[in-house]
Structure 1
Amino acid sequence: MRARHGRQSWKRIGSIAVLAALTWAPAHAGTPTAFAPLQRADLVLYRGATLIDGTGAPARPRMDVLVAGERILSVFPDAARPAEAAKAKVVDLHGQYLMPGLIDSHVHLATPPNRRQAEAMLRRDLYGGVTAVRDMADDLRALGDIARASRVGEIAGPDVYYAALMAGPDFFTDPRTAHTSAGGVPGQVPWMQAVTDQTDLPLAVARAAGTSATAIKLYADLDPNLAGRITTEAHRQHLLVWSHATLYPAKPSEVVAAGVDAISHACLLVREPDPDVPRWSRPRHPVDLAAFRAGDNPALARLFAVMAKRGVILDATVWTYGAAPPTGASSTPPLTPGGCDDIVGGAITGQAYRAGVQISAGTDNVAPWTEPWPDLFHELSELVDRAGMPPAAALRSATLVGARAAGQERDMGSLEPGKLANMVVLSKNPLSSIDNLKTVVMTVKRGRVFMGDDFVPLREEDITDF
Structure 2
Amino acid sequence: MSNVKQVPHAPDRNIGEGPFERLIIRGVTMIDGSGTPPDGSVDIVVEGNKIKEIVQAGLPESALANAKVIDAAGMYVMPGFVDTHAHIGGVNQGVPAEYVHKLWLAHGVTTVRDPGSFNGADWTIHEKERSEKNEIVAPRIYAYTCPRNWDKPLTPDNVPEFVQWAIEKGFDGFKIINRWNPDTIVALLEEAKKYNLGTMAHISQTTAARMDALQAARAGLGSLEHWYGLPEAMFADRTVQHFPAHYNYSNEYHRFSQSGRLWKQAAPPHSDKWNAVMDELIELDFTMNPTFAIYEASRDAARAQTADYHEEYTYPSLWNYYQPDPTKHGSFFTDWTTQDEIEWKENYRLWMAFINEYKNRGGRICTGSDSGFIYKTYGFDFIREFELLQEAGFHPLEVIRAATLKGAELLSKENNVPMEFGVIQPGYLADLVLVKENPLHNFKTLYGNGALRLNRDTGVTERVGGVSFTIKDGIIYDAKALLEDVKEMVHHAK
Normalising by the smaller structure, the TM-score range is 0.7 to 0.9
Name the counterpart of 1:399: 404
Structure 2 residue aligned with 1:270: 231
Q: Match for residue 94 of structure 1?
A: 73
- Confirm or deny that 1:382 pairs with 2:388: yes
Matching residue's letter, 1:122: H
- Unmatched 5+ residue regions in structure 1? 1-30, 167-176, 182-187
* 3-state secondary structure, aligned to 1:406: helix
Quick one: distance in 2 between partners of 1:449 and 1:293? 49
CA gap 1:273/1:87 in 2 versus in 1, 3 angstroms: same
SS in 2 for 1:195: coil
* CA distance in structure 2 between the aligned counterparts of 1:131 and 1:257, rounded to whole angstroms: 31
Whether 1:164 and 2:164 are equivalent positions in the alignment is no
When residues 261 and 84 of structure 1 are mapped into structure 2, their CA distance, relative to the original with a 3 A threshold, is farther
Give 1:347 deviation, angstroms.
3.3
Going from structure 1 to structure 2, the CA distance change for 1:453 and 1:89 (only over 3 Å counts) comes to same
Write the deviation string for residues 86-107 of structure 1: whole angstroms up to 9, x where unpaired. Answer: 5422211111101101111112
Tell me, yes or no, if the aligned pair for 1:256 and 1:312 is still in contact at 8 Å: yes
SS of 2:358's partner is helix
Shift of 1:298: 4.3
2:215 pairs with 1:241:
no
Report deviation, 1:463: 8.7
Which TM-score applies when normalising by structure 2?
Answer: 0.72
User: Which of 282, 306, 310 is residue 284 of structure 2 equivalent to?
Assistant: 310
Matched, 1:320 2:278: no
Partners of 1:226 and 1:380 in 2: CA distance: 35
The structure 2 residue matched to 1:256, chosen from 209, 217, 220, is 217
1:286-327 deviations in Å (ceiling 9; x for gaps): 755335697445434322212222321101011111224545
Q: 1:203 deviation in Å?
A: 1.8
1:181-330 equivalences under 5 Å are 188-189=150-151, 194-197=153-156, 199-245=157-203, 247-248=207-208, 249-274=210-235, 276=239, 288-291=262-265, 295-296=269-270, 298-322=272-296, 323=298, 324=300, 326-327=304-305, 328=319, 329=322
Q: Which residue does 2:308 correspond to in 1?
A: none
Which amino acid is 1:142 matched to?
W
Shift of 1:411: 1.6
Determine what percentage of the aligned residue pairs are the same residue. 22
Indicate conservation of the 8 Å contact 1:102/1:129, yes or no.
Answer: yes
Distance 1:254 1:234 in 2: 17
For the residues of structure 1 that align with 2:289 and 2:70, how far apart are their CA atoms?
A: 35
Equivalent position amino acid for 2:139 in 1: P
Match of 2:433 in 1: 424
- Note if contact 1:318-1:382 (Cα within 8 Å) is conserved in structure 2: yes
CA distance in 2, matches of 1:269, 1:462: 43
**In the alignment, structure 1 residue 118 sits paired with structure 2 residue 89:** no
Cα distance between partner residues in 1 of 2:100 and 2:493: 8
Seen in structure 2, the aligned counterparts of structure 1 residues 277 and 256 have a Cα distance that, compared at 3 Å, is farther
Q: Over aligned residues, Cα RMSD in angstroms?
A: 3.5
Q: Deviation of residue 332 (structure 1)?
A: 4.9
| Change beyond 3 A, Cα 1:92–1:208 | same
Name the CA distance, whole Å, in 1 between partners of 2:179 and 2:128. 29
Task: Answer 1 or 2: which has greater helix percent.
Answer: 2
Q: Find the aligned partners of 1:303 and 1:272 in 2 and give their Cα distance.
A: 7
Mapped contact 2:189–2:199 kept (Cα < 8 A) = yes
- Paired position in structure 2 for 1:173: none
Match of 2:476? 449
Amino acid at match of 1:432: H
Worse-superposed segment, 285-294 or 404-413: 285-294
1:200 positional shift: 2.8
State the match for 2:362 in structure 1.
356
* Aligned length in residues: 405
CA gap 1:152/1:345 in 2 versus in 1, 3 angstroms:
same
One-letter amino acid of the structure 2 residue matched with residue 215 of structure 1: G
Paired with 1:226 and 1:204, the residues of 2 have a C-alpha distance of: 11
| Separation in structure 2 between the aligned mates of residue 366 and residue 463 of structure 1, nearest angstrom | 17
CA distance in 1 between counterparts of 2:17 and 2:94 reads 22
- Match of residue 142 from structure 1: 123
Q: Measure, in 2, the Cα distance between the counterparts of 1:310 and 1:82.
A: 51
Q: Deviations over 1:413-465 (max 9, x none)?
A: 1111121111011112222332232421111111111113312134448999x
Between the aligned partners of 2:153 and 2:386, the Cα distance in structure 1 is 34
More deviation in 338-347 or 266-275?
338-347
CA distance in 2, matches of 1:38, 1:107: 26
CA distance in 2, matches of 1:351, 1:370: 26
Shift of 1:37: 7.6
Judged with a 3 Å threshold, the aligned counterparts in structure 2 of structure 1 residues 200 and 238 are, in CA distance, closer, same or farther, namely same
